[in-house]
Amino acid sequence: MTRLIDGKAIAADLRARVAEAVAELADRDISPGLATVLVGDDPASRVYVRNKIRMCAEVGIRSIEHAPDADISEGELLDLVDRLNADPDVDGILVQLPLPAGVDSARVTEAIDPVKDVDGFHTTNAGRLSAGLDAMVPCTPAGCMILLRSVCPDPTGKRAIVVGRSNIVGKPVAQLLLAAHCTVTIAHSRTVDLDERCREADIVIAAVGRAEMIKGGWIGPGATVIDVGINRIEGADGKGRLVGDVEFETAKEVAGAITPVPGGVGPMTIACLLRNTAIAACRRRGMDPPEAVRLS
């Protein structure tokens, strides 16, 4: 029987643990705060940031909202990041990507104090993660690992393939799998015989951004499939619907466990962002995070 990995329920459980940790911090007069920076009026970015702010409120994290116009210069944005770095009331800084043309996203990301880098995109955090040191772990990869461990608590020795090598998903999730003692293959657009490489794997993490590219026939019997992809396609009824990078209907026939889209990795990303904010609030003060949000 294929197990459906319920990202909604697992994310709700993580948010409850973050709320518990935030309450524990309140007893010590610490009130974690997340600064969100939404540049311009990209509709998708607006929705993402609104959801993040709503979820912050639900777990007791303060939001500090900044929404500069799309014509903000790179210099002005860097000044804003500097102010947030220096602000003692700000524990985490989230600059919603993508940024408007003309602003160098990498430069803005690098300007964030690594301790406040709750997205985990700063090269200091990427480097620390790959060196096996304490780091701010990017949210979606962290979420993938929690979902994986919900069905495979100890993945030691498993063969894992990560399809996709982006800095925000593919590479960090591969590092986390390596840290969990998996044997890791990282595949990308130049990989030869990708279907065969996937079939050999016990764990398939799909982070490609191509609707239903990975077919059921590419999945080995009993493998665990974590589908990061979020793609909007037009259904037979002409209405838009969301699908992953894996062809769910065929893959669920062979997989041992699989995440749905929506309702799999998606909800984990925000829950991990909240957790990172609570962790940042502690690390900034030289404290260990409460047990409820410690990274495993």
Quick check: 183 binds ligand NDP (CB under 6 A)? no
Cα separation of 94 and 143, whole Å? 17
Among 169, 273, 279, 282, binds ligand NDP (CB under 6 A): 169
- Using rule CB under 6 A, residue 189 touches ligand NDP: yes
Which residue's CB is nearer to ligand NDP, number 38 or number 72? 38
Half-sphere exposure of 128 (CA within 13 A, CB side): 15
Cα atoms found within 13 Å of the Cα of residue 247, Cβ hemisphere only: 11
Q: Residue number with the shortest CB distance to ligand NDP?
A: 166
In the complex, least distance from residue 262 CB atom to ligand NDP, rounded to whole angstroms? 9
CB of 96 to ligand NDP, least distance (A): 12
Q: Nearer to ligand NDP by C-beta: 6 or 24?
A: 6
Our answer to whether residue 117 is catalytic in this structure is no
CB 225 within 8 A of CB 257: yes
- The question of whether 52 is a catalytic residue gets the answer yes
User: 91, 117, 119, 202: which one is catalytic?
Assistant: 119
Residue 244 CB, shortest distance to ligand NDP, in Å, is 8
Q: Print burial letters for 47-74: b (CB count within 10 Å at least 16), e (below 16).
A: ebbeebbebbeebbbbbbebeeeeebeb
Span from 33-41, 115-123, 175-183, 202-210 in contact with ligand NDP (CB under 6 A): 202-210
Q: Which stretch binds ligand NDP (CB under 6 A): 27-35, 128-136, 162-170, 275-283?
A: 162-170
Looking only at residues 205 through 244 of this chain, which bind ligand NDP when binding is defined by CB under 6 A?
Answer: 207-210, 228-231
Query: Among the candidate windows 89-97, 129-137, 174-182, 183-191, which touches ligand NDP by CB under 6 A?
Result: 183-191
Q: Nearest CA to 276 among 124, 56, 46, 8?
A: 56
Is 250:228 a contact under the CB 8 Å cutoff?
no
175 belongs to the catalytic site: no
Residue (182 or 272) nearer to ligand NDP, CB: 272
168 binds ligand NDP (CB under 6 A): yes
**Residue 100 in contact with ligand NDP, rule: CB under 6 A:** no
Which of these ranges, 71-79, 118-126, 201-209, 252-260, lies near ligand NDP under the rule CB under 6 A? 201-209
- Dmax over Cα atoms in the chain, in whole Å? 56
State which residue, 112 or 270, has the beta carbon closest to ligand NDP. 270
Token pair recorded at residue 278: 């609570």
Which of 257, 265, 272, 293 is close enough to bind ligand NDP by CB under 6 A?
265
Cβ closest to ligand NDP, residue 155 vs residue 267 = 267
Among all residues, which ones are annotated catalytic?
52, 96, 119
Residues that bind ligand NDP (CB under 6 A): 140, 163-166, 168-170, 187-191, 194, 207-210, 228-231, 265-266, 269
